Chain A
Amino acid sequence: MSHFLELSRLYKSFASAKGPLTVVKDFTLSVSKGEFITVIGHSGCGKSTVLSMIAGLTDVSAGGIILAGKEVTGAGPDRGVVFQSPCLLPWLTALENVLLGVDQVYYTATVRERRQIAEYYLALVGLADSMERRPAELSQGMRQRCGIARAFALQPKMLLLDEPFGMLDSLTRYELQEVLLDLWQRDQKTALMVTHDVDEALFLSDRIIMMTDGPEATVGDILKVDFPRPRSRQQLLEDPRYYELRAHLITFLEERSHLRPASAPSAPPPTSPPAPATAAHRAQPPTRLRRFFSAALTR
């Protein structure tokens, strides 16, 4: 079976004062058409970097990305990106923000048709009454709705969502997850979302990619989430398997994400985690200041 999106052995290094720093190492993943994938990991582990490389906003240091049979070499409207901060242009109304992309993709359509497309998607995300408002007059949640409408209105081959609900309060987050899921089901879009919210990942995705801690972050483990669709949050919460999967994710994030992937898939979940060791692993590399203080304390 040929995959819709293939990431093969992705590497990303940045130049730093102490020589090149490899943020993402040997990241391989295949995504089928119509799949909803979530990438989860600790903040700063490089999951957003992976998304940014697929979006074409960050160069790939080594490895390749193939989307629908073509190599990804730069940014383009065939991938609809929903940014963490909605990134609406403040001087344009909600409608104009969506139109900016629509004009770009449907350049053969008439002005009227383009407007209809933009209005259609804004109505789908529940902004029918606020199209003429500027971002400053919209709430955080409404802005992100607009961001989602903008991405979907492009009719992209796939969706890339970079912690799209990270800045929202939990009630709004639930609402928008449903909006997103609705739209995703309607269009059967392949989607890849980055998040650090375990429940969000379980509610939305078909598969969850757990990333190890950076630097040199890579795929640590993959969890299949096969709850039937359409999903309801209520049903999920009543399903005992939900808690098993949730426990698996949290165990990974708390105890195994720092382990190298070679041992990660086969390693049994440690029953009594060696607490001091974990803490030491998770701690940041000692800075000069930190070393100074620890020396002072042990004296």
Chain B
Amino acid sequence: MNQRFSTFLGTAGYALVGFACFILFWMFLSTIAETLPSPTATWEVARPYVLEPFAKRGEQDQGILRLAGYSLSLVAQGYFLALAIGTPIGFCLGLSRTFTRIFDPIIQVLRPVSPLAWLPLGIALFYNAGKEALEYGALFTIAICAMWPTVLNTAVGVRAIPQDFLNVGRVLKLSRTKMLFKIMVPATLPYMFTGFRLSLGIAWLVIVAAEMLTGKTGVGAFLWNEYNNSNYGNIIFSILTIGVIGFVLDRLMSLVESRFKSIS
């Protein structure tokens, strides 16, 4: 057995201990609080969603991966919108002191605003779009909430570009575009990807809130519906699903991130 595999087993072993503790605590809690379903009860209600993950039995009654797919596609759209807006803003902040002095205060004011606060504004903004208003509102909310880490990390990254690299560009008299794409962007990539990873985490947080309020099909909406159906087991099941997907997304992004870190 090679070294890496055995360390992996070790890590997994410790993690299993943690999960076991969590389930024990859950079982204990469910014996005290009678509205809280026990792990077995949760599994019973969740079973049809897990065993047939892609089934479509009705508008809300669908397999869990199908539901997650809807959520992920909405998140992806909002997320890429966030990156497309956030990265250039980050570059402007990093490049220009004046730009920073003008716009940093307003960014710091908007950044802590909760997705729940943005959502009604988003829907109102696209009110004229009719049926699509909810979707656009959700996208707007995801994008505006998720973009801040990208903006701030990109700005930090641009400021951290070593003067030596810039001097190389100046000595070679690179054009502005070449300077940007051959030197500044590659030099900033590791920071940008840290931002991208944090942004993805936030985008995934926002989707649940957005779906709960807009009623769009997805994991978040499913959670809210099951609450309205007093089907508490599926609330726990949804929470676990959301957590696992968020974890997987974060792992994937940090894999990409570490690749870029090792290059530069």
Q: Which residues of A contact B (CB under 8 A)?
A: 55-57, 74-77, 79-81, 83, 85, 87, 89-91, 100-101, 104, 134, 154
Question: Which residues of B sit under 8 angstroms from A100, Cβ to Cβ?
Answer: 168, 172, 174, 182
* Given A57-B167, A87-B168, A91-B187, 8 further pairs, Cβ under 8 A: A56-B171, A57-B170, A57-B171, A75-B171, A85-B164, A87-B167, A89-B165, A91-B263
Closest 6 CB pairs of A and B: A75-B170, A87-B164, A91-B186, A90-B264, A101-B172, A104-B172
Question: Which residues of B sit under 8 angstroms from A75, Cβ to Cβ?
Answer: 167, 170-171, 173
Which residues of chain B from 157 to 179 have any CB-CB distance to chain A below 8 Å in the complex?
164-165, 167-168, 170-174, 178
Query: Is the Cβ of A83 less than 8 Å from the Cβ of B164?
Result: yes
Does B253 count as interface, using CB distance less than 8 angstroms? no
Bound: A81/B171 CA distance, A: 7
Question: Which residues of B sit under 8 angstroms from A134, Cβ to Cβ?
Answer: 263
Question: Which residues of A sit under 8 angstroms from B170, Cβ to Cβ?
Answer: 56-57, 74-75
Question: Which residues of A sit under 8 angstroms from B182, Cβ to Cβ?
Answer: 89, 100
Contact of B173 among A80, A89, A90, A104 (CB under 8 A): A104
Contact of A91 among B164, B171, B178, B264 (CB under 8 A): B264
Query: Is the Cβ of A77 less than 8 Å from the Cβ of B172?
Result: yes
Bound: A89/B161 CA distance, A: 11
Query: Residue of A at shortest CB range from B189?
Result: A91
Does B183 count as interface, using CB distance less than 8 angstroms? yes
Query: Is the Cβ of A87 less than 8 Å from the Cβ of B165?
Result: yes
Bound: A85/B183 CA distance, A: 17
Question: Which residues of A sit under 8 angstroms from B173, Cβ to Cβ?
Answer: 75-77, 104
Bound: A106/B206 CA distance, A: 51
Question: Which residues of B sit under 8 angstroms from A76, Cβ to Cβ?
Answer: 171, 173
Query: Is the Cβ of B164 less than 8 Å from the Cβ of A55?
Result: no
Question: Which residues of A sit under 8 angstroms from B164, Cβ to Cβ?
Answer: 83, 85, 87
Number of A-B contacts defined by CB within 8 Å = 52
Question: Which residues of B sit under 8 angstroms from A57, Cβ to Cβ?
Answer: 167, 170-171
Contact of A83 among B167, B174, B183, B263 (CB under 8 A): B167
Contact of A89 among B171, B178, B183 (CB under 8 A): B183
Bound: A91/B189 CA distance, A: 10
Question: Which residues of B sit under 8 angstroms from A77, Cβ to Cβ?
Answer: 171-173
Query: Residue of A at shortest CB range from B185?
Result: A91
Bound: A83/B164 CA distance, A: 8
Which residues of chain B from 76 to 128 have any CB-CB distance to chain A below 8 Å in the complex?
none
Interface 0/1 of B247-264, CB less than 8 Å to A = 000000000000000011
Which residues of chain B from 183 to 208 have any CB-CB distance to chain A below 8 Å in the complex?
183, 186-187, 189
Query: Residue of A at shortest CB range from B262?
Result: A136
Question: Which residues of B sit under 8 angstroms from A81, Cβ to Cβ?
Answer: 167, 171
Which residues of chain B from 228 to 264 have any CB-CB distance to chain A below 8 Å in the complex?
263-264
Bound: A83/B167 CA distance, A: 10
The 26 sampled A-B contact pairs (Cβ below 8 Å) are: A56-B171, A57-B171, A75-B167, A75-B170, A75-B171, A75-B173, A76-B171, A77-B171, A80-B171, A81-B171, A83-B168, A87-B167, A87-B168, A89-B168, A90-B263, A91-B187, A91-B263, A91-B264, A100-B168, A100-B172, A100-B174, A100-B182, A101-B172, A104-B173, A104-B174, A134-B263
Contact of A55 among B165, B171, B186 (CB under 8 A): B171
Question: Which residues of A sit under 8 angstroms from B187, Cβ to Cβ?
Answer: 89, 91
- B189 CB to nearest chain A CB (Å): 8
Query: Residue of B at shortest CB range from A81?
Result: B171
Query: Residue of A at shortest CB range from B174?
Result: A104
Bound: A79/B173 CA distance, A: 11
Bound: A57/B170 CA distance, A: 8
Bound: A87/B170 CA distance, A: 13
Bound: A296/B51 CA distance, A: 82
Bound: A55/B263 CA distance, A: 29
Question: Which residues of A sit under 8 angstroms from B189, Cβ to Cβ?
Answer: 91
- A74 CB to nearest chain B CB (Å): 8
Please indicate which of the listed interface residues A100, A134, A154 has the most CB atoms of chain B within 10 Å of its own CB: A100
Bound: A91/B161 CA distance, A: 13
Query: Residue of B at shortest CB range from A134?
Result: B263
Please indicate which of the listed interface residues A75, A79, A80, A134 has the most CB atoms of chain B within 10 Å of its own CB: A75
Query: Residue of A at shortest CB range from B178?
Result: A104
Question: Which residues of B sit under 8 angstroms from A56, Cβ to Cβ?
Answer: 170-171
Bound: A53/B160 CA distance, A: 24
Bound: A207/B258 CA distance, A: 49
Question: Which residues of A sit under 8 angstroms from B165, Cβ to Cβ?
Answer: 87, 89
Bound: A101/B172 CA distance, A: 6
Interface 0/1 of B115-145, CB less than 8 Å to A = 0000000000000000000000000000000
Bound: A140/B172 CA distance, A: 22
Question: Which residues of A sit under 8 angstroms from B263, Cβ to Cβ?
Answer: 90-91, 134
Bound: A164/B19 CA distance, A: 57
- B124 CB to nearest chain A CB (Å): 45
- B72 CB to nearest chain A CB (Å): 31
